[in-house]
Amino acid sequence: MTVEIEDTYAEAFRSLYVEILITARDRQWLDHAINAATGHASSSIMCDCESGLDRYVGPGGDESFQTPDGRPGAICQLHVPRFWKPRVEKLEQALLARVSQNVLTCPTARCFAPEHAASENYFRLGRKVAYFGGGFERLASRHGRDVWLIPTMGGDFYIDRRFPYHDGVMGGNLWFMADSVDASLSAAERAVAACQEIPGVITPFPGGVAASGSKAGSRYKFLFASTNERFCPTLRDQQDVTTELPDGVESAMEIIINGTSLEAISAATQAAISAASGTPGLVKISAGNYGGRLGKSWVWLIPENHPVESTTPTT
């Protein structure tokens, strides 16, 4: 069966993001730290940030990127929308809470800034986390960098002093419409696996996949987002719903892609489409947009049909 790839775009929008490099004794404890630090961070609709694993680095991962302490490591991203106010303070608050509560507490874990160069914009995260030391914290030189050492019952916790933050992009997305739940989920899983091979992007939902794709607005005034009824298979025959699902589609899954740049998200989008297209039972691949009302960073599913000069600028 030929899969239809709709000639449309995912409407992404600008973000602020910060990266953390977590290391641990082994992959097991590294994964515990990653999962805790990036938990409850799927959607800015009701989370303090959107967060996820970019890539594993060092031993057992991308060995072109060596961790400061030579141990297994992972780079994670935290994003907040630029339209949030005050965005810098909200990103710092999310970063502080997640590192202090979920990385500091994880056995054998350490926390570094992936880029150890001077930056104009940064958070003094190390000093704030170090207050947990109760007066016994100290600055020291470890692995060629100045870090805070915080004594804990499990030994000293290492954390860099400064963590730079940057402009990024949120809200890249793909929809996988299929003839069954199993088929749509399989397509989404293949897409997520392909995104994981592209440096600089994250897929923040559980397992990278969202079953509850949403739209802006709601019948209820106290909600600013709600289920996207036009793409809910069980509402296809409801009189007050105009379905937009192709015939034969019984399930649609979505992935969200955030990243360091529009180029990174575009590369991940193409990798995801290529990986998912051969999934048995997949009918159509599409994406969500609001006609430019949400964001000005457009990620085209068929980019060759849309030269750079014809796309909406990212600023």
Which phi and psi angles does 209 have, rounded to 5°?
-120, 140
If asked whether residues 78 and 201 sit together in one domain, one would say no
Contact assessment for residue 309 and residue 35, using Cβ atoms and an 8 Å cutoff:
no
pLDDT over 60 at 156, yes or no:
yes
Average pLDDT for residues 239-263, to the nearest whole number?
96
**Domain membership flag for residue 108:** yes
**Domain membership flag for residue 41:** yes
Compute the mean pLDDT over every residue in the chain, rounded to the nearest whole number. 95
Domain containing 41 equals: 16-166
**Domain membership flag for residue 315:** no
If asked whether residues 138 and 180 sit together in one domain, one would say no
Please give the share of the chain, as a percent, with pLDDT higher than 90: 90
pLDDT band at 140 (very low <50, low <70, confident <90, very high): very high
Average pLDDT for residues 29-53, to the nearest whole number?
97
pLDDT over 50 at 312, yes or no:
no
If asked whether residues 160 and 202 sit together in one domain, one would say no
**Domain membership flag for residue 213:** yes
If asked whether residues 216 and 152 sit together in one domain, one would say no
CA atoms of 264 and 250, how far apart (whole Å): 31
pLDDT over 80 at 160, yes or no:
yes
As a three-state string, the secondary structure of the chain is CCCEECCCEEEEEEEEEEEEEEECCCHHHHHHHHHHHCCCCCCCCCCCCEEEEEEEECCCCECCCCCCCCCCEEEEEEEEECCCCCHHHHHHHHHHHHHHHHHCCCCCCEEECCCCCCCCCEECHHHHHHHHHCCCCEEEEECCEEEEEEEECCEEEEEECCEEEEEEEEEEEEEEEECCHHHHHHHHHHHHHHHCCCCCEECCCHHHCECCCEEECCCCCCCCEEECHHHCHHHCCCCCCCCCCCCCCCEEEEEEEEECCHHHHHHHHHHHHHHHCCCCCEEEEECCCCCCCCCCEEEECCHHHCCHHHCCCCC
If asked whether residues 139 and 225 sit together in one domain, one would say no
Q: Which residue from 194, 179, 191 is spatially nearest to 255, judged by alpha carbons?
A: 191
Q: Which residue from 213, 194, 192 is spatially nearest to 204, judged by alpha carbons?
A: 192
pLDDT band at 1 (very low <50, low <70, confident <90, very high): low
Prior bond of 313 cis (ω within 30°): no
pLDDT in tens, 268-282: 999 999 999 999 999
pLDDT in tens, 5-26: 999 999 999 999 999 999 999 9
Last residue of a domain, one of 148, 166, 184: 166
If asked whether residues 178 and 295 sit together in one domain, one would say yes
Radius of gyration of the chain (CA): 21
Last residue of a domain, one of 166, 197, 213: 166
Contact assessment for residue 245 and residue 228, using Cβ atoms and an 8 Å cutoff:
no
**Domain membership flag for residue 210:** yes
Number of Cβ within 10 Å of residue 142's Cβ equals 16
pLDDT at 309: 47
Which neighbouring-strand residues pair with 252? 177
| Cα 17 versus chain centre, distance | 10
pLDDT in tens, 194-203: 999 999 999 9
If asked whether residues 42 and 54 sit together in one domain, one would say yes
Average pLDDT for residues 63-81, to the nearest whole number?
97
- 282-286 and 4-5: which strand pairing? parallel
pLDDT in tens, 83-124: 999 999 999 999 999 999 999 999 999 999 998 656 789 999
Average pLDDT for residues 14-42, to the nearest whole number?
98
CA atoms of 104 and 159, how far apart (whole Å): 9
pLDDT at 115: 81
Which neighbouring-strand residues pair with 300? 9
Contact assessment for residue 282 and residue 183, using Cβ atoms and an 8 Å cutoff:
yes
pLDDT at 64: 95
If asked whether residues 148 and 196 sit together in one domain, one would say no
pLDDT over 70 at 33, yes or no:
yes
pLDDT over 70 at 27, yes or no:
yes
If asked whether residues 135 and 55 sit together in one domain, one would say yes
Last residue of a domain, one of 141, 166, 191: 166
If asked whether residues 238 and 275 sit together in one domain, one would say yes
If asked whether residues 197 and 259 sit together in one domain, one would say yes
Which neighbouring-strand residues pair with 214? 227
**Domain membership flag for residue 33:** yes
If asked whether residues 176 and 154 sit together in one domain, one would say no
Query: Residue 87 maps to which CATH number?
Result: 3.30.70.520
**Domain membership flag for residue 26:** yes
pLDDT at 164: 96
Q: How many domains in the chain?
A: 2
Average pLDDT for residues 185-195, to the nearest whole number?
98
Please give the share of the chain, as a percent, with pLDDT higher than 70: 96
**Domain membership flag for residue 276:** yes
